Structure 1
Amino acid sequence: MKAKKLIHNANRPKVSVIIPVMNERKTIRRVMARAAKIHPQVEIIVVANGSTDGTARIARAAGARVLVYPKPLGHDVGRSIGAKAAKGDILLFLDGDIPIASADLIPFIKAVEDGVDVALNRYAGPVHRTQVHSVILAKHALNIAMGRSDLRGVSMTTVPHALSRSALRTIGADILSVPPCAQVRAVANGLKVEAVHHVNVGSTNPRKRKRVNGKDPLEFLILGDHAEAIHKLLTMKGPRANRIDKIRRREWLV
């Protein structure tokens, strides 16, 4: 039986949905089906990198614009590639292994339509624990360093999130491959970065089921991304990120 297309109005899209995938044949059609309902004019861009299970074929049959790379591109690089190919005024970023209800995606589109430049998932991770995950701590630390403690653990690392076309022009597509650095650039350039809607992706994230010896295989990569982001912040804002040194008289030490 021929697969039914989900996307029909992608010629002049208002919204571009970008979905990097690697072997997500079990979920990609559900992810697309829900994304297809968020706006009358939507295009779905699937960046298939290193997939060998037919994910690209399924996505293409369902109407997605599929960009195929035989080898894995590395974590989040697909976001940059998809953003460069996007034609819409609003860019929504999803993961191919986490189907999210359309009703939980629409608020991100509405927020950008209402003037938000970077609309983030309000999910900040569980912090009321004896031992908080190091990635959650890194997200909180980065936001505090940027002077955005109100964001708590909210991050561009987390899907779903959306950007305006003007925000993409300001921060650039390449930096999206390191989401914490993209967040630093967005805040530093005075863009309106807001947590707009809560989607609990923590409980549905398949990475939790792919632990190796009890460890998250992406933990150190994401921590490295946040270290790079803090370095970028200090490079842009100075060694104290524009924070005062209070009463310290450091010149007396020389």
Structure 2
Amino acid sequence: MKKAVDIAKAILVLIIGGISCYYFYLFLGPFGLLCFFSGISLLLLGLGNYWELTLKRPALSGKPLVSIIIPAYRSETYIADTIKSAKRIRWPEKEILVVNDSQDRTPKICEELGVRCIQNRERLGKAKALNLAAKHAKGDILLFVDSDTVLEPDCLEKTVPWFSKPDVGAVALKFVVKNKNHSILTRLSALEANLHNNLFKAEMLFGSLISFRGCGVAIRKSAFDSVGGWPEHLLEDAAMGAELRKAGYRIIYEPEAIARTAEPENLKLFIRQRIRWGKGAFLAFLRSVGFYLKSPQFALQFLPLIFSFFTLTGLFLWQIFWLAPILFLWFTTLSIKEVLLLFSFFLLPHIYNFIFSLFPALTSHTAILSLSEGKKEVLFLLPYLFIFLPFTNFIYLKGILQGIRDRKKEGIDFSVW
């Protein structure tokens, strides 16, 4: 019975929301739509910056032991920089643990740098490896850092005070692209990072994030244990964010704690990463669909897509209303081909006009949210908007389709890593 009621509610929301958005689009027109989305993005940017400017961090009460956990997989060429940055962190009570999921020189590098390394006999995957390391950790706070990420010396001074609030389960560090000058691809990835960081700030207006980037995040040990550790999932950071929120913990975004991470430097690795992210995001959504649909932060991230979906739904419903007599004729004189032809004649021009009205509006929305630090980034804005984002979304779509295909499979397919 409850399922039937939920389905009825969803259909009602779809009908009311769809027709409302369609009328909203008709009222605004193409130029109005552009102004609307530009205004929304400026509002989000302004509110996010206001949140950052008025941010009041709690006072530091004591200096608990922090365990810095670094998962490694074929990381021998760059993990030394990560370990050195962890050792430079200004914090008296800390330990550094590396968990190595491959057979390379990482244990030797750890030995040379005086850091403990847990060597796995076989590949466990990132989530299992992190959970294994967490069992060996002694700290009250666990700072998880990717092996290609460099931390700023003051990152713990910025993140640890938040844990004086008992409802805070995790603190996400601000991630920036450390290799952005390597190629045009990494430059464009840096613009995308700006977009995510600005959305994180806007999400904090609701008191918490719902997900985070796993390259740098501090988690309270008791909260970590209460949700069973990292979910063994293709996109474990998104899944962990949902689990912490469902358990009642807040996730804080700390814009002054910097984690400098590396993005793929060639197209092959980039495509592989984004397919994995698309597939993982879809599976994470299926895992906690009720939670996401009730979260305003989720709607905030996908506002343009939600508006587009509702508007097209409303357009379709409105056309059905007007073409109802034709549907009636179908039962008497018209063939199904003739009915579809009439639908196409009336419906397709509206869809065409809407899509081409929406495109500049979405472009403006994305551009404003991606240019947080401006300057040289402006030069890369056109390829970012018209090449990088469409291409990236196409790759995400491929990952989502793989997720739909593999949604019932058990375990993680390491071939996508």
The answer to which of 26-35 and 55-64 deviates more is 26-35
Q: Distance in 2 between matches of 1:68 and 1:210?
A: 29
For residue 272 of structure 2, what is the aligned residue in structure 1?
A: 217
Q: Percent identity?
A: 19
Q: Which amino acid aligns with 1:219?
A: R
For residue 193 of structure 1, what is the aligned residue in structure 2?
A: 251
For residue 284 of structure 2, what is the aligned residue in structure 1?
A: 229
After TM superposition, list the pairs within 5 Å mapping 1:1-254 onto structure 2. Answer: 14-36=65-87, 37-52=89-104, 54-115=105-166, 116-123=168-175, 150=206, 155-175=211-231, 178-198=236-256, 205-212=261-268, 215-234=270-289, 237=291, 240-241=293-294
**Paired residue secondary structure (1:218):** helix
Q: Distance in 2 between matches of 1:114 and 1:152?
A: 13
| Cα-to-partner distance string for 1:25-60 (whole Å, 9 max, x where unaligned) | 3433332232233421211110111141x1111113
Is the 8 Å Cα contact of residues 48 and 66 (structure 1) preserved in structure 2? Answer: yes
Q: How many residues align?
A: 215
The answer to which of 83-92 and 73-82 deviates more is 73-82
> In the superposition, relative to structure 1, how do residues 124 and 226 fare at CA in structure 2: closer, same or farther (>3 Å)?
farther
Q: Distance in 2 between matches of 1:222 and 1:149?
A: 26
For residue 315 of structure 2, what is the aligned residue in structure 1?
A: none
> In the superposition, relative to structure 1, how do residues 230 and 151 fare at CA in structure 2: closer, same or farther (>3 Å)?
farther
Is the 8 Å Cα contact of residues 18 and 45 (structure 1) preserved in structure 2? Answer: yes
- Taking structure 1 as the reference length, the TM-score comes to 0.68
Q: Distance in 2 between matches of 1:232 and 1:149?
A: 25
Gap runs ≥5 in structure 2: 1-63, 178-187, 297-417
The answer to which of 214-223 and 91-100 deviates more is 214-223
Higher relative contact order (CA closer than 8 Å, sequence separation 6+): 2
More helix by share: 2
Deviation at 1:186, TM superposition (A): 0.7
| Cα-to-partner distance string for 1:50-96 (whole Å, 9 max, x where unaligned) | 141x1111113323221112444334443222223211100001111
CA RMSD, aligned part only? 3.7
Q: Which amino acid aligns with 2:67?
A: S
For residue 249 of structure 1, what is the aligned residue in structure 2?
A: none
Is the 8 Å Cα contact of residues 111 and 196 (structure 1) preserved in structure 2? Answer: no
> In the superposition, relative to structure 1, how do residues 242 and 17 fare at CA in structure 2: closer, same or farther (>3 Å)?
closer
Deviation at 1:104, TM superposition (A): 3.1
Gap runs ≥5 in structure 1: 1-12, 244-254
- Taking structure 2 as the reference length, the TM-score comes to 0.44
Which protein shows a greater Rg?
Answer: 2
**Paired residue secondary structure (2:70):** strand
